[in-house]
Every structure is written in structure tokens, then in C-alpha cells.
Amino acid sequence: MTTTDQRWLTQLLSINKGSRFFLSALPLYSRVKDDPQKLVEFQSQFDKWIDSTGSKYVSRGSADYLRVR
């Protein structure tokens, strides 16, 4: 498991498996929500991580995310 995996999996600890959630449910969101540039980077990094894991832990919906495992 990589450091990046650990970072994002830590963010997912508060989200139950099988639950749908918005990016705003992740703890780091509160740090970036007031800075549009950082918010875009945060979402981009999260989406890239999802792609890099083959949606093993999270899958993307049209407006939200699904915690897979």
C-alpha cells in the first residue's frame, strides 16, 4: 500500500462501506473549501487516486461518490 493510498483511505474512515457521499464529507475538504484553486486540486487528486486504484475503494457517480470497500 502506498502513502497516497493511506492518505485517501484515512479520509474515508468516516464513510461507511456502501454509502454514497459528496467530496465535502471528507475531512480535508474543510481545509480547501474556501480556496477555489485548492478545491479543484483536491478533487482532481481524489479522482486520479480513484482511477489509479481501479475504483477498488471508491467509485465515481455523476454528482457523488460510492464507498466500495
The 10 Å CB-count burial string (b at 16+, else e) for 7-37 is ebeebbeebeeeeebebebbebbeebeeeee
pLDDT at 2 over 90: no
pLDDT of residue 1: 76
Please name the residue that has the C-alpha cell 486540486.
41
Q: What does the pLDDT average to over 44-52?
A: 95
pLDDT of residue 13: 93
Model pLDDT for residues 14-42, shown as the tens digit of each residue: 999 999 999 999 999 999 999 999 999 99
